[in-house]
Structure 1
Amino acid sequence: MLFYCQMRWNHEGRITLDELLDIEYEETKHAEETVKSGFCVGIWKVAGQKRVIAIVDSPSADELDRSVFRLPMREYLDFEEIWPLRDYLSFAADVERRYRDV
């Protein structure tokens, strides 16, 4: 199942910029591994903001929740939004059937 995940860095007054960059370096390695594995479909840093957006292909909400605790930046990320995503063509098929059983 696909999930949209929006995270904001929350480090102000907690760690130095150098410490943040050290942890973020570990996070970039972790992100690369999850993209290669297919768990993370894509991940983007929002330009000019302390925000990251990812599309995650998790087998369940449970596994998505567990994956958060494996993130190197877990203590410094606020998850602002997590939305389950439905394939639009599946939705379109339901609309075509007017949501009636086939």
Structure 2
Amino acid sequence: MLFYVQMRWNHEGRISLDELWDMEAEEADHAQETIDSGFCVGIWKVAAQKRIVAIIDSPDAEELDRTALGRLPMREYLEFEEVWPLRDYLGFADDVRKRYRV
């Protein structure tokens, strides 16, 4: 199942900038692993903002929750602003053509 995930760094007054960069380096390694495994379809840093956007291909919401709250190196410094399940548009279009009838 695909999810749109939008996160914001929430580190001000909690860790130093040097500590943030060290932790972000760990997060970068983790991001590469999740991309290589197919769990993360794509991940982007929003220019000029402390914000990250990702498309995640998780088997279910439970696995996404385990990753977000347990596996991310920056889990204590990321605020999840938006998490939206995504539906394939062509599947939706097929339902529209059928008027949502089986």
Q: Which residue of 1 aligns with 2:96?
A: 95
Secondary structure of the residue aligned to 2:54 is strand
Matched, 1:54 2:58: no
Shift of the alpha carbon at 1:64? 0.4
How many percent of aligned residue pairs carry the same amino acid?
74
Task: Provide structure 1 residue ranges, at least 5 long, that are not aligned to the other structure.
Answer: none
User: How far apart in 2 are the matches of 1:63 and 1:72?
Assistant: 16
d(CA) in 2 for partners of 1:34, 1:9 = 19
Please tell me the residue identity of whatever aligns with 1:14.
Answer: R
TM-score by length of 1: 0.98
C-alpha displacement at 1:46, in angstroms?
A: 0.2
Offset of 1:2 from its aligned partner? 0.2
Structure 2 residue runs without a partner (length 5+): none
Structure 1 stretches of 4+ with a deviation exceeding 3 A read: none
- d(CA) in 2 for partners of 1:79 and 1:100? 36
Distance across 2 between alignment mates of 1:43 and 1:33: 12
CA RMSD after TM alignment: 0.4
> By how many angstroms is 1:6 displaced?
0.3
- For this pair of structures, how many residues does the alignment match? 101
Residues 1-102 of structure 1 aligned to structure 2 (within 5 Å) = 1-68=1-68, 69-101=70-102
**TM-score, length-normalised on structure 2?**
0.98
Counterpart secondary structure, 2:72 = coil
- How many angstroms does 1:85 deviate by? 0.1
Structure 2: how far apart are the matches of 1:13 and 1:67? 25
